[in-house]
Amino acid sequence: MDKKDNIIDRSSYFENVQKTIKARNEFLKEHPELEDFQKEIEDALRKADTWKNKAAVLKTMMDERMWELKKALLELQKSVYKTNSTKED
């Protein structure tokens, strides 16, 4: 790969980053309830010093959210089971 190809790749990389940020901002306009979570993500990533640490931070945050979702679904399942049990009585 020569230097010219590297510059093109870098240019297209930054274009993709800009498009992604624009899409994220539009998504947040449609879902303002997620703005605080986005700020939390940005703050955590700012504190991570390497790409490896940033990836680990993101994985941890996703795992935490997944656990919260699993707990909420379990509570919903218990509620549905309880409602169905009382209907059968």
Residue 1 has pLDDT above 80, yes or no: no
Full-prediction pTM beyond 0.85? no
Domain segments of the chain: what residues? Answer: 1-30, 39-89
- Class of residue 57 by CB neighbours under 10 A (exposed 0-12, middle 13-18, buried 19+): middle
**Under a CB-based contact definition with an 8 Å cutoff, are residues 21 and 15 in contact?**
no
Chain segment 7-44, per-residue pLDDT in tens: 668 888 899 999 999 999 999 999 999 999 999 999 99
Chain segment 41-78, per-residue pLDDT in tens: 999 999 999 999 999 999 999 999 999 999 999 999 99
pLDDT of residue 81: 86
pLDDT of residue 10: 81
